[in-house]
Amino acid sequence: MPRVIVVVAAIALVGCAGARPHERERLAQPQMQFDADAEAAAHEQHVFEYREGSAGGYGGGGGGCGCN
Amino acid sequence: MRLQLSAAAALASLWMTVWATAAAEPTGDHADVAVRTSLYADDDATVISTTSVAVEGRATERATLRAHYVADAVSSASVDVVTAATGRWTELRSEVQGGAAWSDGTWAVTADYVHSREHDWASHTVALSGSRDLFQHNLTLALGVSAVDNQVGRAGDVTFARQQRSAGVDARAVWVASPRDLWSASYTVGYVAGYQASPYRYALVAGPAATAIGFPETAPDRRLRHAVTARWNHAVFTAAAVRSHARVYLDDWGVASMTAGTGLAVALGEHLEVEATLRGYLQRHAAFYQDVYDQPRRYLTADRELSTFRDVFAGARARWRGERVVVDAGVTGFGFWFAEFERLPRRLGVIGELGLRVAL
């Protein structure tokens, strides 16, 4: 049952939206990428994980903390 | 000072090498080399210099190999070490990573290994992920798992050795909502087991006649963490995007937080892009956190990152994209306001960053 709900929700979500291949020009621009620069994102997340009590949700992680 | 001069010389040499590589004749679209340096400084007497070098190369038409090296140089005389009655300390953290990625345009898998080492901490991380594109690439479902083994030590004490292990799962969906809208939603769960206090910090317990006595930190040896994140990139005007994100975090230590941020990235002509960002964070303290404890308790912490506080980061970045070279520079100012940490009610600082990426 949960699997059916997930599939139906996904179809409902995507079926009424999305972009055809010829409509993806804006989506392909660098500023539309979530993590166009992985190294910069890793530096940024390292600061947040070191300085805040929360973690997770933005990718990255691992490799020790340097905060012992 | 000698360590800092050596590090500066090595850094300058590294940048010149990568720049010289960029000036050389192209050999084809086979690999990327990236070098990045950031400098963090705050008014809590802490300076952190971070430099990374990353290489990614195409092994076959569908497979890539990647590696990076990161060095953190930390110098601090923050209120933590003052409380512990020690002076300014400096240390160097080194991290190496190796990984591989494979994609056929619909399915993608990655595998990475990370090893991090400093004088009192060693860490091994293994991470695997897989994703699948659906509905004409309008929806991507991804699942990632990771496991970390940490060995915790204490400077000047060879008898002190503790273990900390963690594992995490990240489930993510990215979907194209329209030709101008890209959404992402994720759920991350993490479990940490083992030593999670600091061997250097001392929690304060109220003593007689308005004095306070320092006790070594003790923290629960289990922690279950949950994070739900949403991200939204929306194209505006002819070549700009508003990038927003929000996260809700909860764990079984009682820490709860909300993160929200937004940014505007604008392309100015063919090569130049500028970006402004703003990020805010609110946190509720761990259930066992107190600034000064009324009596010794099972769990005692002086970790202000477990207290109630808020912070704000505001930044600007410029990026120039050439045919084979991308250069970017950014600066971010930040402020932390601690509601329950009398020794440091406020912390202000700045982060400067410089990056260079070259396609070989």
Model confidence pLDDT, tens digit, residues B293-308: 999 999 999 999 999 9
pLDDT at B26 over 70: no
Mean pLDDT, range B214-241, rounded to an integer: 96
Measured between beta carbons, the chain B residues lying within 8 angstroms of A37 are 328, 355, 357
What is the pLDDT confidence band of residue B181, given thresholds at 50, 70 and 90?
Answer: very high
pLDDT at B194 over 50: yes
- Nearest CA to B18 among B345, B346, B326, B350? B326
Task: State the smallest CA–CA distance between residue B298 and chain A in angstroms.
Answer: 20
Q: Which of B68, B153, B257 sits opposite A54 (nearest CB)?
A: B257
If you write DSSP's letter for every residue of B146-187 in order, what string do you get?
EEEEEEEEETTEEEEEEEEEEEEEEEEEEEEEETTEEEEEEE
Residues contacting residue B17 through CB under 8 Å, at least 6 positions apart: none
pLDDT at B225 over 70: yes
Q: Is the ipTM of this complex over 0.90?
A: no
Residues contacting residue B251 through CB under 8 Å, at least 6 positions apart: A54, B223, B224, B225, B226
- Positive or negative, the CA dihedral A35, A39, A40, A43 is positive
**Percentage of chain B exceeding pLDDT 90:** 83
Mean pLDDT, range B204-218, rounded to an integer: 90
In the 8-state DSSP scheme, what is residue B6? H
pLDDT for A66: 47
Mean confidence (pLDDT) of chain B = 91
The neighbour count for residue B326, using CB atoms within 10 Å, is 21
pLDDT greater at residue B268 or residue B2: B268
- Taking one residue from A and the other from B, the number of pairs with CB-CB distance under 8 angstroms is 191
DSSP H or E segment with residue B17:
helix B2-23
Torsion of CA B148, B220, A65, A31, to 10 degrees: 80
B231 contacts A54? CB cut-off 8 A: no
What is the pLDDT confidence band of residue B1, given thresholds at 50, 70 and 90?
Answer: very low
pTM recorded for the entire structure: 0.88
Q: Which of B114, B255, B266 sits opposite A63 (nearest CB)?
A: B114
Q: What is the pLDDT of residues A3-58, one digit of tens each?
A: 766 665 665 555 556 888 888 889 999 899 998 788 888 888 888 988 999 999 98
Mean pLDDT, range B339-355, rounded to an integer: 95
Contact (CB, 8 A) for A64 and B116:
yes
Task: State the smallest CA–CA distance between residue B297 and chain A in angstroms.
Answer: 21
Burial label, B2 (beta-carbon count in 10 A; 0-12, 13-18, 19+): exposed
DSSP H or E segment with residue B22:
helix B2-23
